[in-house]
Amino acid sequence: MIKQTMNISNSFRAPSLVAPWRLVADALENERALDVKYREASTTLPPSGPVPNFKVMKQLSLEAQLGWLYPFVIALAPIAIIFAAPWQWLLLLIGAAGGKRRELPEQACRVFATTEGNRAIIDAALDNDPQIARLPRYQIRFDPRTFGSEIGWSGCASVMHAHLRWLFYALTRPVGVRRDLLLHGHDVLALLGLVRLAGQVGHIFVTDDHYQRWAHVLSHVATDFRIVQHGFLDEKLVLPHEGGIVKCLYLRDSLFLASFMRYYSIVEQQLFSPSANFVQTPFSNNALLLASSFPSIDEEIRLLSAVRASCNLAQIVVKFHPAHRYDTRREQLAALATMVYEGTGNPACRVFVSHGSFMEFDYRRHGVDTVSIARSGSIDAAAEEIRLLFDKTVSTQSGCELRV
């Protein structure tokens, strides 16, 4: 249900006239800035070395998996990305020559969900907007042949020229920055195709991306671009290039509006509350659900070890983050669980635990007790909160101590 609609700005600027290659370069420089910030905040990443500023948390997992091969793989990856360009151009042209173009209505929503699970959040926001709830929705397909069929021959020529221009720009950066940008540019052709597509069709473009490359380029080129909030924002984040225009921002709470306005020009905002899909498991009635996130896995292992060291007040269900790549510590965490939940939707539970997951909003809204490791301040404090919550409902087992 829409709780509030408020106009933030009545000035609606024209789409950006920045060259497509430059716009995409800005977006990828923002992405690099994100990874540099995460690297600086990490206690396990050295300030320099073979690990690039490219999806740094996933790189830790990949480095652990590849071992001594990792430096060679990461050194060859940028070269492979350069030499893959002609093959991508060929696929683009094949799409233009023989691909069957989708015949879409003049009014439609083009949707890009960063994860499969977030598509439901996008649908919930759009369903609650009476102006566009009935418009058909189409998932954006990020492959060269699809873009080739959609943008035609002239569009393909424009995209290939922009791709060449971006490669020249990336290759002329300083050595460290060059490697990072080339790695971030693994999908440059798709981004350029998206820029061309958004500029030539009058559709509504919607994503749950907050300030990564897809949202950045669409905010500058789409005449009607919308963002659906799916999680927390980094309040201290400063990016080198500003975002563009968001026609409508779908917020979970108005307290997040100022954070988005630091980066975008917001025309309108609406509040929405998605319906939560809670799935019953054999342990739901007395389950502790841990929503795992790879960057906090060491703390999660310590916390579940503390719970296991008690008198088993709860059955433990772990849900791993679908977009994170884990290393061998995944098995350590899974071994502490009664059940690893791998289905869609959110498992029902007695107590929801995370380091600081936005999923907490959904559970709290439905009366489920929640514990945040970050908000608790320490593993000991989080463990004590869990003990008190289960003592409250399982009085016969109260008094058991959680040991960290």
Token look-up 């005449």 returns: 223
Distance CA 296, CA 378 (A): 12
Calculate mean pLDDT across residues 77-97: 96
* Residue 197 reports pLDDT greater than 80: yes
Confidence of residue 48 (pLDDT cuts 50, 70, 90): confident
**Residues 65 and 73: beta-carbon distance below 8 Å:** no
By the 10 Å C-beta count (0-12 exposed, 13-18 middle, 19+ buried), 121 is classed as: buried
317 and 219 in one domain?
A: no
How large a percentage of the chain has pLDDT more than 90?
A: 61
Residue 306 falls inside a structural domain: yes
**CATH number of the domain that residue 338 is part of:** 3.40.50.2000
Calculate mean pLDDT across residues 279-296: 91
263 and 287 in one domain?
A: no
The three-state secondary structure class of 241 is coil
pLDDT at residue number 100: 66
141 and 10 in one domain?
A: yes
Distance CA 341, CA 211 (A): 29
Confidence of residue 319 (pLDDT cuts 50, 70, 90): very high
Residue 402 falls inside a structural domain: no
pLDDT at residue number 311: 52
Residue 152 falls inside a structural domain: yes
10 and 154 in one domain?
A: yes
Q: Of 271, 296, 321, which closes a domain?
A: 271
The model carries a pTM of 0.82
The three-state secondary structure class of 402 is coil
Calculate mean pLDDT across residues 318-334: 89
297 and 381 in one domain?
A: yes
**pLDDT tens-place string over residues 226-269:** 999 998 888 888 899 999 999 999 999 888 999 999 999 999 99
222 and 87 in one domain?
A: yes
* Residue 384 reports pLDDT greater than 90: no
* Residue 293 reports pLDDT greater than 70: yes
pLDDT at residue number 51: 87
Distance CA 158, CA 149 (A): 14
Distance CA 404, CA 402 (A): 7
Structure tokens at 169: 């720009």
Q: What is the DSSP letter of 348?
A: -
User: How many separate domains does the chain show?
Assistant: 2
Confidence of residue 313 (pLDDT cuts 50, 70, 90): low
Q: What is the DSSP letter of 326?
A: P
Q: Which of residues 310 and 270 earns the better pLDDT score?
A: 270
Q: Taking phi first (over 0 means left), then psi (-120 to 50 degrees means alpha), and beta for anything else, what does residue 207 get? A: beta
**pLDDT tens-place string over residues 169-193:** 999 999 989 999 999 999 999 999 9
Confidence of residue 288 (pLDDT cuts 50, 70, 90): very high
Residue 73 falls inside a structural domain: yes
Q: Of 204, 236, 271, which closes a domain?
A: 271
62 and 187 in one domain?
A: yes
Q: Which helix (H) or strand (E) covers residue 353, if one does? A: strand 351-354
Structure tokens at 328: 């061998």
pLDDT at residue number 399: 43
* Residue 220 reports pLDDT greater than 80: yes
Calculate mean pLDDT across residues 53-58: 86
Q: Of 241, 271, 301, which closes a domain?
A: 271
Structural domain for 372, as ranges: 278-397
204 and 80 in one domain?
A: yes
Cα–Cα–Cα angle for 259, 345, 324, nearest 5°? 60
